[in-house]
Amino acid sequence: MGRWRVAAALLPALAAAAVAGWLWRDNRELRAELDRARAAGPAAPAAGAEARDGSAAAKAGPARRGGGGVASFLRGLGRASERERPELKEAQPDESRAERRRRRQEELRAMLGREPDESALEYRARVAPMIQTALAVPRTRLEEARREAERAARVSDEQRAKIDALLADVSRETLSLTNEAIAGGELTPYERNYAGVLSWAGGLGAILGTTQSRMNEILSEEQRAAMSEAGFEWAEYFGVKIPWEELQPPPPPSGS
């Protein structure tokens, strides 16, 4: 059970890349819409309306204009809000569960799938920055958390060097396992393959089971307890530190 729990901790790292890509694309579309709206500018008031407002103000007289300052201010806010109020899109009909799954699968395919004429180099240039962006903040945060936890546990420089070597081994073995799963279609952006994901997670659990044993040889039980009390988890740290951006691209979709 412990191995599966550790393996499951790494799944969000891959999911983060997909989510970052979706958010990046969605944010780009929203910015484009905002730029178009700003370029259009607020609608100019009609000339007749300005004339009517001016004649009404003239008839009201100085006293009335002064006494209605608050009302005039509120009316001005109302007119401004009417000009700036965005138009709401028509409500979309409710999606069925199958339709929602198909839509999400298409989004995943668009983000992490490979175009028929896209080379491996072009794929890396498009996807690697997306993964790095998704993991930049977690990597920085967990690196600082590791330093604080190691200070609390009095981890020596020799132990720290052994942990870094262990991380390098875990990264190499995990990337090799994941590349095999991608090439074999167990991990694919083109369709749902739950059996393939579970098979990959089982192999990952075996790798991390060995990792846990090696970690127990590097750190004492007291040190591991001190780091855990500091809120630090090695599985979470390894999950984001593995260089997922170095994974091999998936094969082009079948039939391309």
Q: Given a cut of 50, is residue 7 above it in pLDDT? A: no
Distances (CA, A) of 95 to 23, 66, 111: 20, 55, 21
Tens of pLDDT, residues 183-201: 999 999 988 888 999 999 9
If one compares 64 and 250, the residue with the highest pLDDT of the two is 250
Q: Token pair for residue 155? A: 């981890």
Mean pLDDT of 169-185: 95
**Whole-structure pTM over 0.85, yes or no?**
no
pLDDT at 182: 94
| 18 contacts: CB under 8 Å, gap ≥ 6 | 108, 111, 112
**69-127 tens-digit pLDDT:** 545 544 554 554 444 445 545 555 677 888 888 888 888 888 888 888 899 999 999 99
| Confidence at 202, pLDDT banded by 50, 70, 90 | very high
Flag whether 61 is in a domain.
no
Are 137 and 218 a contacting pair, CB within 8 Å? no
- pLDDT tens track for 15-30: 444 444 444 455 555 5
Domain count of the fold of the chain:
1
In a domain, 63, yes or no: no
Inside any domain, residue 236: yes
The proportion of the chain whose per-residue pLDDT surpasses 70, expressed as a percent, equals 63
pLDDT at residue 135 tops 70: yes
Q: How far apart are CA 223 and CA 5, in angstroms?
A: 21
Question: Please, what is the average pLDDT of the chain?
Answer: 77
Sequence-distant (≥ 6) Cβ neighbours of residue 155 within 8 angstroms: 163, 219, 223
Residue 188 maps to a domain: yes
DSSP state of 244: G
CA-CA distances (angstroms) from residue 155 to 108, 214, 229?
41, 15, 15
Residue 221 or residue 93, greater confidence: 221
* Predicted local confidence at residue 170, as pLDDT: 95
Give residue 119's domain range: 2-25+102-245
Question: How are the residues of the chain apportioned to helix, strand and coil, as percentages rounded to the nearest 5?
Answer: 75, 0, 25
Q: Look at 85-89, 122-126, 147-151, 165-169 and tell me which has the smallest mean pLDDT.
A: 85-89
Sequence-distant contacts of 38-46: CB under 8 A, at least 24 apart: 42/83, 42/84, 43/83, 45/79
Is 255 a domain residue? no
pLDDT of 227 > 90? The answer is yes
List pLDDT tens digits, range 49-66: 444 555 544 444 444 444
**Domain annotation covers residue 253:** no
Domain assignment present for 195: yes
pLDDT of residue 89: 52
